[in-house]
């Protein structure tokens, strides 16, 4: 706490000196701007709390908590004033001199221990220095609850801490409590995703963490993200104000903030909707459309277009099975409106999946308006009459992934023997090379081309799709197209080899950038092996491992009512640092034991 000398004596001394200087030099230049003193960087401090900390038998009606500071302050973030147990309406405040008066629009509960937290809410009036925080504890009964629990809330995919999540405890263990009731006790996480719920009852709780979009202290699946503890929880730690976990630190104090003990880890995820119905639809072209569903794993019993044979319809789900692409492989002119009928399992009024058939009208764009068919034909572009083929390849991943060939519309005929793959050596000598072509199991418009030859530095590799090699559902042929690729030649690039052991199931190993926002390389792993990450620039990277229980190659989210956690994610670390630093011109080798990582 600031000393009285540093707060008042020193400024008084400086003021006296300034007055003396002004009056002792009558020839001073009075038009010169005064110079300021040193900037105040010391945060405000509390000098008094009323009612006193730990007060008992506090009135339930008209209660006010007064925090008096050693200087004038303002409330910069009202949401930082947080009462637990929370009320329907947030606490209100007013400024009175150097005091912040907090009051409540609802009566407090009888015989209840309350905590009123000020973390991140208050700054001083002059320089905006943040007050680290304070938690006032009081009771409307004759005793104070004495248990506590600490923990960390983080994102399930990148494990980044989540600031401002609401951690909630419920004595009602039913599944519906978090949807319908406000919690028995709650607190907001700080910048580090850390929380400390203090002065709790010694009893069993259900624990949740909600990223509460509308601030109602309940879980709204359509808006909020959630985390939950698998089992019932009973606090085991007794409140002791000397514990580091109960101290209030500046968030830039990395050493002390990281040193706090976390008893519970909560991984936040966004639930996929459980109510199933057709959500959206669109006609993308004459013979192309899509429909989307509200929930994943849509179950379609049958679908058909009016007037179109079933064997002329091509359909493809995405991985989560909540979006279905549709194409019509029929050379006849398509009508302005396609009538699609879908028989699927739809959620009824009782919340049960029941068979339902819906008719979906898919209208061609620009037909409903005044534009005529003749006018439409005069504006036909080249892309309307040519099958577009995209060839995708990156020099850094050419050896690992090869070349991807993707069509705008599904091809219905192709001369695969006409495809060309050749190499050009530094002497400009061309050689026909062998390659393997495989259709992507998840995308029927995409093919993967894997060279069946050793890829050499200094060589150029050319893959060509000749003119009229493929024809699509519209009867359009492709133009000639090709792609050229060579291995990177920058001598400053480095490589990383990861020797993966302890693999007992399927997992996905991703190399990410330092901020964990972009996947640079990815491997699906089902056995012990060595993963190669060549051609890396100097910098910092993260290595993420995800348990891929169902083998679909993505991080599957959790389900609250089914008590299913999201698939687990871990980051490889060395010396307690989960960042890999890759220097220039280096060959880095790391051992990664999957079993140990998840234990």
92 pLDDT band, cuts 50/70/90, is very high
Query: At residue 23, does pLDDT exceed 60?
Result: no
Render pLDDT for 253-298 as a digit per residue (tens, 0 to 9): 999 999 999 999 999 999 988 899 999 999 999 999 999 999 999 9
What's the CATH number of domain 46-139, 2.60.40.1220, 3.60.21.10, 3.30.450.80, 3.30.1330.10? Answer: 2.60.40.1220
Q: In residues, how long is the chain? A: 599
Contact 478, 464 (CB under 8 A): no
Q: What is the pTM of this model?
A: 0.77
Residue 410: strand pairing partners:
none
Query: At residue 6, does pLDDT exceed 50?
Result: no
- Cα–Cα distance for residue pair 414/419, rounded to 1 Å: 10
| pLDDT (average), residues 304-327 | 95
Start-to-end Cα distance in the chain: 43
20 pLDDT band, cuts 50/70/90, is very low
- Cα–Cα distance for residue pair 494/491, rounded to 1 Å: 8
> In this predicted structure, what is the pLDDT of residue 379?
45
- Cα–Cα distance for residue pair 135/246, rounded to 1 Å: 9
- DSSP designation for 577: B
Query: At residue 368, does pLDDT exceed 80?
Result: no
Q: What is the CATH number of domain 278-378?
A: 2.60.40
Least confident of 181-195, 369-383, 520-534: 369-383
575 pLDDT band, cuts 50/70/90, is confident
Residues of the chain with CATH 2.60.40.3710: 384-486
> In this predicted structure, what is the pLDDT of residue 371?
43
Contact 509, 519 (CB under 8 A): no
| pLDDT (average), residues 386-394 | 96
Query: At residue 36, does pLDDT exceed 60?
Result: no
Query: At residue 19, does pLDDT exceed 70?
Result: no
> In this predicted structure, what is the pLDDT of residue 550?
82
Give the percent of the chain with pLDDT over 70: 90
Query: At residue 28, does pLDDT exceed 80?
Result: no
Contact 289, 281 (CB under 8 A): yes
Residue 265: strand pairing partners:
152
Render pLDDT for 209-243 as a digit per residue (tens, 0 to 9): 999 988 899 999 989 999 999 999 999 999 998 99
Architecture of the CATH domain 494-598: Sandwich (2.60)
Q: What is the largest CA-CA distance in the chain?
A: 104
Contact 235, 263 (CB under 8 A): no
554 pLDDT band, cuts 50/70/90, is confident
Query: At residue 126, does pLDDT exceed 60?
Result: yes
Which fold would CATH assign to domain 384-486?
A: Immunoglobulin-like (2.60.40)
Query: At residue 372, does pLDDT exceed 70?
Result: no
> In this predicted structure, what is the pLDDT of residue 366?
65
**Of 345 and 384, more confident:** 345
Residue corresponding to tokens 């302890």 = 502
- Cα–Cα distance for residue pair 257/192, rounded to 1 Å: 8
Query: At residue 4, does pLDDT exceed 60?
Result: no
DSSP secondary structure of 56-71? -S--SSS-EEEEEESS
- Cα–Cα distance for residue pair 50/248, rounded to 1 Å: 20
Give the percent of the chain with pLDDT over 90: 80
> In this predicted structure, what is the pLDDT of residue 166?
96
How many helices (H) and strands (E) the chain has is answered by 7, 44
Query: At residue 34, does pLDDT exceed 60?
Result: no
Residues of the chain with CATH 2.60.40.1120: 147-268, 494-598
Query: At residue 376, does pLDDT exceed 60?
Result: no
37 pLDDT band, cuts 50/70/90, is low
Assigned superfamily of 147-268: Carboxypeptidase-like, regulatory domain (2.60.40.1120)
Query: At residue 367, does pLDDT exceed 60?
Result: no
Render pLDDT for 438-447 as a digit per residue (tens, 0 to 9): 999 889 999 9
**Of 93 and 34, more confident:** 93
Query: At residue 378, does pLDDT exceed 60?
Result: no
Contacts of 69 by beta carbon, 8 Å cutoff, 6+ apart: 44, 45, 46, 47, 98, 99, 100, 122, 124, 131
- Please tell me the chain's helix, strand, coil percentages from 3-state DSSP, rounded to the nearest 5: 10, 40, 50
> In this predicted structure, what is the pLDDT of residue 38?
65
Q: What is the mean pLDDT of the chain?
A: 89
| pLDDT (average), residues 308-335 | 95
């Amino acid at each position: 706490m600031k000393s009285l000398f540093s707060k008042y004596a020193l400024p008084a001394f400086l003021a006296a000196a300034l007055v003396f200087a002004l009056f002792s030099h009558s020839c001073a230049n009075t038009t010169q701007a005064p110079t300021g003193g040193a900037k105040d960087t010391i945060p405000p401090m509390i000098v008094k709390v009323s009612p006193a900390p730990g007060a008992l038998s506090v009135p339930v009606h008209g209660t006010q908590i007064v925090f008096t500071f050693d200087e004038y302050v303002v409330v910069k973030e009202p949401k930082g004033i947080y009462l637990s147990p929370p009320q329907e309406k947030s606490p209100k405040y007013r400024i009175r001199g150097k005091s912040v008066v907090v009051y409540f629009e609802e009566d407090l509960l009888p015989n209840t221990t309350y905590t009123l937290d000020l973390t991140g809410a208050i700054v001083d009036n002059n320089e905006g220095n943040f007050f680290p925080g304070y938690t006032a504890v009081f009771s409307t009964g004759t005793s104070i609850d004495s248990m506590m629990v600490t923990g960390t809330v983080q994102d399930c995919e990148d494990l980044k801490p989540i600031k401002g999540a609401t951690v909630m405890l419920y004595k009602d263990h039913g599944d519906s409590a978090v949807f319908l009731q406000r919690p028995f006790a709650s607190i907001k996480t700080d910048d580090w995703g850390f929380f400390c719920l203090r002065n709790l009852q010694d009893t069993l709780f259900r624990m949740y963490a909600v990223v509460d979009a509308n601030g109602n202290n309940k879980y709204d699946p359509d808006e909020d993200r959630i985390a939950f503890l698998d089992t019932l929880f009973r606090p085991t730690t007794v409140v002791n104000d000397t514990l580091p976990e109960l101290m209030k630190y500046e968030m830039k104090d990395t050493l002390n903030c990281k040193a706090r003990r976390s008893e519970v880890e909560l991984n936040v995820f966004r639930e996929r909707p459980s109510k199933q119905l057709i959500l959206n639809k669109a006609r993308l072209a004459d013979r192309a459309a899509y429909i989307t569903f509200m929930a994943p794993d849509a179950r379609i019993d049958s679908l058909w277009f009016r007037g179109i044979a079933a064997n002329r319809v091509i359909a493809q789900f995405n991985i989560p099975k909540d979006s279905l692409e549709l194409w019509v492989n029929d050379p006849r002119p398509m009508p302005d409106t396609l009538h699609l009928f879908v028989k699927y399992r739809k959620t009824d009024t009782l919340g049960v999946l029941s068979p339902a058939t819906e008719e979906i009208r898919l209208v061609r764009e620009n037909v409903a308006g005044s534009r005529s068919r003749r006018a439409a034909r005069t504006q036909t572009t080249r892309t309307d009459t040519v099958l577009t083929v995209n060839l995708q390849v990156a020099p850094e991943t050419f050896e690992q992934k090869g070349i991807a060939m993707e069509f705008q519309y599904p091809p219905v005929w192709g001369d695969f023997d006409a495809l060309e793959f050749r190499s050009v050596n530094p002497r400009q000598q061309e050689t026909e090379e062998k390659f393997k072509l495989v259709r992507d199991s998840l995308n029927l418009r995409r093919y993967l081309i894997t060279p069946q030859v050793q890829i050499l530095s200094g060589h150029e590799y050319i893959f060509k799709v000749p003119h009229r090699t493929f024809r699509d559902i519209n009867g359009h042929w492709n133009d000639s197209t090709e792609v050229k690729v060579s291995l990177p030649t920058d001598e400053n690039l480095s490589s990383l080899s990861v020797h993966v052991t302890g693999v007992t199931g399927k997992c996905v190993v991703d190399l990410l950038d330092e901020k964990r926002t972009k996947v640079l390389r990815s491997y699906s792993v089902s056995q012990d092996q060595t993963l190669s990450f060549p051609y890396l620039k100097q910098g910092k990277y993260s290595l993420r491992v995800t348990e891929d229980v169902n083998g679909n190659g993505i991080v599957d989210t959790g389900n609250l009512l089914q008590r299913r956690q999201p698939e687990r994610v871990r980051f490889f670390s060395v010396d307690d640092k989960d960042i890999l630093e890759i220097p220039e011109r280096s060959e880095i080798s790391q051992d990664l034991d999957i079993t140990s990582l998840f234990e």
